[in-house]
Amino acid sequence: MRPTLEILGKNLRRARKLTFPGDTLADFALRIGVSRATLQKMEQGNLSVALGKYYSAAKILGLTATFNELLKPEEILFDD
């Protein structure tokens, strides 16, 4: 599970820098309503950060459609 969260953190960092290139960690943390330390943990893929914080970041970054696909089960054609 750790590698997946690390990838999520790296993707968050990349999206933050692309969307808000002038923001510092503190600036973006303020945008999503977390502390700078929490944002650092998020970008590292730390397990201690609640999923809701990642959703807040996704919302600000315009990535909620992608986020909403995280736990979506595949449709089975012949499911009763």
Read off the pLDDT of residues 1-22 as tens digits, 9 standing for 90 and up: 568 889 999 999 999 999 999 9
Q: Which is higher by pLDDT, 4 or 52? A: 52
DSSP E strands in 3-80: the ranges are none
* 42 domain residue, yes or no: yes
The number of domains in the chain is 1
Asked whether residue 71 is domain-assigned, the answer is: no
What CATH number is given to the structural domain containing 16? 1.10.260.40
**pLDDT band at 46; cut points 50, 70, 90:** very high
Which residue range forms the structural domain that includes residue 23? 2-61
User: What is this structure's pTM?
Assistant: 0.82
SS3 77: coil
39 contacts 25 by C-beta, under 8 angstroms = yes
Chain centroid to CA 13: how far? 9
* Long-range interactions of 33-39: CB distance < 8 A, separation 24+: none
